[in-house]
């Protein structure tokens, strides 16, 4: 039976108009989220993952940002065509957001209880007393001790991990259908990271909430994600199930990312490899594949023409010319040597 899609983003294009010119931040991104699943969007800093997801509910500043194309279908409605006024009934109520830094996202002048009850009063029309009861329930749900007492405290009275739990409570207070988690464990130590991830997984099971997880931490992805979208230079490089991406990665960029991650379970020691070079300048996007200058297996076609999406299996797509049947000989060398070795060696072949 086909899984039911909650969110479908098609050919999304987002630019920023700056004093230096136009930055093509998102260049035709497409992805979807099924009901009850976790989709991880990964890639190095500046690849467009946060802009892509925040554009779904128009959280990017406009101007200088501008959504220049694409459709965003959420539960059958096109969010891209909605006015800001109409979107206010979706944000918080049907789509919750956990922002990257809870200390700057929480209002330091308001108690955490008031910050939770705001959304409940606005979206669910609860009375102040009902909202307080629900907020205390949420604090208890995210495993904050003494929730009744904590309800009246301020963000500075909470540790970093506790503040992140408060952010999760705010995001889930109205029982949203979709939760956007933007680097939810950034700045937390590894023990607290594990607790936050376990909490998110547990709450998803209880509430059947879909999650979009934005991160560059592949360890976080392996713990939570059902499917993964790998982004590079404002485009999707590879997309598939977690198993596809972790155990059958086909794009040289995805393979290079995986080779840069330490694996404690491996018996033999191996060198961690860095990806050589730098991402392209998105003021002037490249004509062909954006990863070609950093790729050890780049061919002439990679520099001259942008690759389309090639099927690497069921629900597994790769935007790489190596997947073209005419690149069989180079693909054999690629499969034998892998990607992400000592670096790009000369661009076009």
Backbone angles phi, psi at 261, to 5 degrees: -105, 130
In 3D space, the residue among 60, 53, 65 whose CA is nearest the CA of residue 24 turns out to be: 65
Backbone angles phi, psi at 117, to 5 degrees: -70, -25
Please tell me whether the overall predicted TM-score, pTM, comes out greater than 0.85 for this model.
yes
Q: What is the pLDDT of residue 309?
A: 92
Domain boundaries, the chain: 1-94+175-247, 108-173, 261-337
Backbone angles phi, psi at 49, to 5 degrees: -65, -45
CATH assignment of 1-94+175-247, among 3.20.20.210, 3.40.50.10810, 3.60.10.10, 3.40.50.300: 3.40.50.300
Is there a contact between 66 and 251 (Cβ–Cβ < 8 Å)?
no
Q: What is the pLDDT of residue 2?
A: 56
What tokens does 247 get? 């155990």
Q: How far, in Å, CA of 307 to CA of 321, rounded?
A: 6
Query: Which residues share a beta bridge with 238?
Result: 230, 318
Sort 238 into a burial class: Cβ within 10 Å, 0-12 / 13-18 / 19+. buried
Is there a contact between 91 and 57 (Cβ–Cβ < 8 Å)?
yes
Sort 302 into a burial class: Cβ within 10 Å, 0-12 / 13-18 / 19+. buried
Q: How far is CA 293 from the centre of its chain?
A: 25
Per residue of the chain (349 residues), give pLDDT as tens: 457 889 999 999 999 999 999 999 999 999 999 998 999 999 988 899 999 999 999 988 888 999 999 999 998 888 988 888 888 888 888 998 888 776 778 889 999 999 999 988 988 888 999 999 999 998 998 888 999 999 999 999 998 888 888 988 888 888 889 999 988 877 777 777 788 888 888 888 888 889 999 988 887 888 789 999 999 999 999 999 999 999 999 999 999 988 887 766 666 666 777 888 889 999 999 999 999 999 988 889 999 999 999 998 888 999 999 988 887 777 777 666 554 443 433 333 4
Q: How far is CA 91 from the centre of its chain?
A: 17
Is there a contact between 119 and 174 (Cβ–Cβ < 8 Å)?
yes
DSSP category for residue 115: H
Q: What is the pLDDT of residue 44?
A: 87
Query: Which residues share a beta bridge with 228?
Result: 40, 240
């Amino acid at each position: 039976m086909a899984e039911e899609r909650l969110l479908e983003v098609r050919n999304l294009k987002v630019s920023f108009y700056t004093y230096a010119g136009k930055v093509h931040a998102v260049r035709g991104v497409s992805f979807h989220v099924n009901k009850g699943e976790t989709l991880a969007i990964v890639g190095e800093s500046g690849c467009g993952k946060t802009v892509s997801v925040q554009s779904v509910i128009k959280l990017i500043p406009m101007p200088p940002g501008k959504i220049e194309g694409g459709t965003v279908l959420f539960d059958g409605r096109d969010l891209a065509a909605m006015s800001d006024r109409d979107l206010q009934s979706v944000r918080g109520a049907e789509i919750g957001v956990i922002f990257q830094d809870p200390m700057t996202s929480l209002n330091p002048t308001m108690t955490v209880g008031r910050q939770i009850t705001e959304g409940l009063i606005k979206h669910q029309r609860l009375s102040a007393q009902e909202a307080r009861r629900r907020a205390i329930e949420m604090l208890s749900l995210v495993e904050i001790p003494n929730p009744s007492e904590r309800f009246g405290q301020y963000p500075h009275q909470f540790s970093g991990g506790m503040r992140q739990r408060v952010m999760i409570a705010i995001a889930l207070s109205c029982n949203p259908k979709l939760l956007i988690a933007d680097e939810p464990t950034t700045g937390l130590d590894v023990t607290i990271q594990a607790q936050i991830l376990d909490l998110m997984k547990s709450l998803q099971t209880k509430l059947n909430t879909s999650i979009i997880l934005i991160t560059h931490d592949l360890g976080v992805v392996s713990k939570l994600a059902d499917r993964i979208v790998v982004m590079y230079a404002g485009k999707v490089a590879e997309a598939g199930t977690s198993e596809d991406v972790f155990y059958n990665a086909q794009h040289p960029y995805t393979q290079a990312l995986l080779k840069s991650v330490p694996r404690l379970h491996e018996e033999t020691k191996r060198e961690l490899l860095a990806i050589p070079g730098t991402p392209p300048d998105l003021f002037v996007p490249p004509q062909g594949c954006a990863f070609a200058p950093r790729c050890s297996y780049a061919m002439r076609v990679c520099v001259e023409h942008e690759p389309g999406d090639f099927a690497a299996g069921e629900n597994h797509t790769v935007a790489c010319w190596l997947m073209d049947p005419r690149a069989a000989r180079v693909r054999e060398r690629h499969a034998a040597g892998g990607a992400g070795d000592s670096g790009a060696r000369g661009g076009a072949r």
